[in-house]
Amino acid sequence: MVALSVIIPHHDAPERLLPRLASLEQALARAAAASEIIVIDDHLPEPARKRLQAGLASFPKVRYLALSSGAGVESAIAAGVQLAQHDALLIFDACGYSPGCVERMAQRLARHDLVCGVRRATGWRKFLIRLLAAPQRLCGGPARDTGCHVWAARREALCAMPIERGRLTWLPTLIARAGYRVGESPIDWNSDERGVWPVGRTRWLQVAHAWWSAPRAAAALTADTCGAMPEGVRIDAAHPLAGPAAIGRTETATRPERIQR
């Protein structure tokens, strides 16, 4: 069993997130030797932020990070990756996705560096999912569902190909091109409960440059490139990373001197 950090970027009503946290904690107890949950508040409106903090008081083991400006889901995820305590990471959208996927994805990390969720769908939804993934498949990408907001990864793979605004959906293709092992896992989802993920528009020049440089990215990876907070991300001084019962305590994660492959 792995030690797993779950990162939940949240830009939606707290009422969508809170009911799933108990199920998520139960799933982690079965799937991981040690675990943590980090909720990233991507600049919620103040009334929603207060409701989220009040609800998180019932989950003392959940760590909470508030960003001082709406930097987007890519920056929220990148901040969570930098601050996570464990090297096995699960990016999870708590709105519309079942925590039951956690155990399967954690198991598949034993054989892969990145495990992409694939939504179970039929009919026109399945066709649309495959259609949106077609450009990446033509470029050699392994993912059949580039719009699924649940995936697991080893920290090194995400550090080799940093999560930047405008290329989140291309991440599986770029990580595979960098030489890492990419797999998939089926995910149960409810399309009527989808949350709000403010993903930036694809920036094609950045994607093209990343695709060209990906084969050399892993060789250049060091602890410095893996440990920096994403540019433009600021932690709200009033709500730093902490458990809800300990707002005001700041934590940082340690890093090895150099990543070994």
Dihedrals φ, ψ of 92, to 5°? Answer: -135, 125
pLDDT confidence of 258, banded at 50, 70, 90?
very low
Question: Locate tokens 């399309």: which residue?
Answer: 191
CB of 20 closer than 8 Å to CB of 82: no
DSSP helix/strand/coil, 3: strand
The CATH number given to whatever domain includes residue 152 is 3.90.550.10
Q: Residue 252 domain-assigned?
A: no
| CA distances (Å), origin 147, targets 59, 93, 150 | 29, 11, 9
Assign 232 a pLDDT band (cuts: 50, 70, 90).
low
* Model confidence band, residue 153 (pLDDT cutoffs 50, 70, 90): very high
Give me the pLDDT at residue 237, please. Answer: 55
Segment 101-132, tens digit of pLDDT: 888 888 899 899 999 888 776 676 677 766 77
Sign of the alpha-carbon torsion through 42, 45, 47, 48: negative
- Whether residue 225 is contained in a domain is answered as yes
Q: What is the pLDDT of residue 257?
A: 35
* Per-residue model confidence (pLDDT) at position 248: 35
**Residue 39 CB neighbours (<10 A):** 26
**Is 258 inside any structural domain?**
no
CA distances from 139 to 40, 99, 153 (A): 32, 31, 21
pLDDT score, position 252: 37
- Distance between CA atoms of residues 228 and 244, nearest Å: 25
Does residue 257 belong to any structural domain of this protein? Answer: no
Q: Tokens 């190909």 identify what position?
A: 161
Q: Is residue 259 part of a domain?
A: no
- CB-CB contact of 25 with 99 (8 Å): no
Tell me if 178 sits within 8 A of 139, measured CB to CB: no
Residue 51 lies in a domain: yes
Count how many domains the chain has: 1
pLDDT band at 253 (very low <50, low <70, confident <90, very high): very low
3-class DSSP assignment, residue 114: strand
> pTM for the full model?
0.78
185 within 8 A of 104, measured Cβ to Cβ: yes
More confident residue, 173 or 12: 173
Q: Which domain holds residue 31?
A: 2-246
What is 161-185 written as a DSSP string? S---TT-STTHHHHHHHTT--EEEE
Residue 11 counted as domain residue: yes
260 inside domain:
no
Query: pLDDT digits over 6-35, tens only?
Result: 999 887 778 888 888 988 999 898 888 888
Q: Yes or no: say if 177 and 215 are a contact pair by the CB < 8 Å rule.
A: yes
